[in-house]
């Protein structure tokens, strides 16, 4: 698995929940941002990528939406 992430749109074939993984983004002059990885996604044309919860983005049924992490940072 690669720790490189992308924000390009992609066709996801499968999503699997996960636990124990985080995505860390370093901020200049501030504390690092750490996001829990909620699921692994299998895009049609590339390797596995981690999905993080989108802050404040929920459906009408109060279900959190998932998104690709920023292109800077790495999985920990």
Tens-digit pLDDT profile for residues 11-57: 889 999 999 999 998 888 899 888 899 999 998 887 888 999 887 76
Residue of 57, 46, 39 lying closest to 6 (CA atoms): 46
Query: For position 41, what pLDDT does the model report?
Result: 92
51 within domain boundaries? yes
Tally of structural domains, the chain? 1
Domain that residue 14 falls in? 9-55
* Residue 68 belongs to some domain of the structure: no
Does residue 28 lie in a domain region?
yes
72 lies in a domain? no
Residue 30, in any domain of the structure = yes
Asked whether residue 71 is domain-assigned, the answer is no
Which range in 1-5, 36-40, 66-70 is most confidently predicted, on average pLDDT?
Answer: 36-40
* Global confidence as pTM: 0.67
- 22 contact partners, CB below 8 Å, separation of at least 6: 34, 35, 36, 37, 75, 76
Which among 27, 19, 29, 28 is positioned nearest to 50, based on CA atoms? 19
Confidence check: pLDDT of 67 > 90 = no
Secondary structure letter of residue 20 according to DSSP: S
pLDDT of residue 40: 93
């Amino acid at each position: 698995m690669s720790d490189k992430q992308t924000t390009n749109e992609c066709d996801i074939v499968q999503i699997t929940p996960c636990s124990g993984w985080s995505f860390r983004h370093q901020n200049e002059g501030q504390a690092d941002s750490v996001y829990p990885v909620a699921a692994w996604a299998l895009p049609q044309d590339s390797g596995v990528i981690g999905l993080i919860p989108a802050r404040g983005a929920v459906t009408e049924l109060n279900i959190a939406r998932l998104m690709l992490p920023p292109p800077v940072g790495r999985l920990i």
